[in-house]
Structure 1
Amino acid sequence: MADKYDVAIGKRLRQLRTDRGLTQTQLGELLDVSFQQIQKYEKGTNRIGSGRLWVISRLLKSPIGYFFEDLDEPGSESEAEPVGDGRLSRDSVLLARSLNELPDGEIKVQLTKLVKAISRCQTQLED
């Protein structure tokens, strides 16, 4: 049976990998391991060693602390759930990447304002 912390760290790895637009195969190639090994890491079946986790954090451009943030004490109900800013939908990630590719300037500023305005309107419609 997988350790609850290994499962939580694996879920965070999966979220971060998908947020970065990588497949398990691509991440495996970067780490020189099989995609099956990445699957096992993500399910918490295999524990990720500290050195390998450090390399993963560098490859995915995330602080290593992301994998450990807000992990509760053993026995808590929420300890296996990833929390924090790594929980973006694929559409949100694609939007952010596209916006980031634009040069800084008025168009980028106006698009950001537009998305915020649409979000506010949608929230008001739902209330």
Structure 2
Amino acid sequence: MKHPVDVHVGKRIRHRRWMNGTTQQQLAESVGIKFQQIQKYETGTNRVSASRLWDIAHALGVGIDFFFDGLEQSDKAAGANDLPGDILNDREALELLRSFYAIPENQRKRLFELARVLSEAA
């Protein structure tokens, strides 16, 4: 049985990998493992050791704490908002985020405000 913390950490690995535009193969090569192991980490099937998580964090350019962000809220937030429960595994949502952060900051702020107004009007 998958432990909820392992699943959460795996989702965060996938999220960051997607945001960087890194493939499972590229990440695996950078930490010295096979891409199938990355797949198992991302689904929470296999638990990530501390040293391996350290290597993954370094390869993805984040601190270890990134993988645990939101863990406390994940149980509380289930069903508490309008977002799909598994948004970090939604390819379209991650692609939208990647595209959003590719926009220059001043334009990104304007787009954000537009999205907020549109969502409130809906």
Match of 1:116 in 2: 112
1:123 Cα deviation from its structure 2 partner: 2.3
Q: Which runs of 5+ in 2 are unaligned?
A: 79-86
Match of 2:84 in 1: none
Specify the code of the residue in structure 2 equivalent to 1:29: E
Q: Secondary structure at the match of 1:47?
A: coil
Closer/same/farther in 2, CA of residues 121 and 2 from structure 1, 3 Å limit: closer
Please tell me the root mean square deviation across aligned C-alpha atoms, in Å.
2.7
Closer/same/farther in 2, CA of residues 124 and 64 from structure 1, 3 Å limit: same
1:67 Cα deviation from its structure 2 partner: 1.5
Aligned pair count reads: 109
Match of 1:95 in 2: 100
Give the helix-richer structure, 1 or 2: 2
Q: Secondary structure at the match of 1:89?
A: helix
Separation of aligned partners in 1, 2:21 and 2:117: 29
Q: Secondary structure at the match of 1:22?
A: coil
> Does the 8 A contact of 2:16 with 2:60 survive in 1?
yes
Q: Deviations over 1:50-87 (max 9, x none)?
A: 11111111221122112223434xxxx828x8xxxx95
Match of 1:26 in 2: 26
1:113 Cα deviation from its structure 2 partner: 4.5
Q: Which runs of 5+ in 1 are unaligned?
A: 100-107
Identity %: 34
1:2 Cα deviation from its structure 2 partner: 2.2
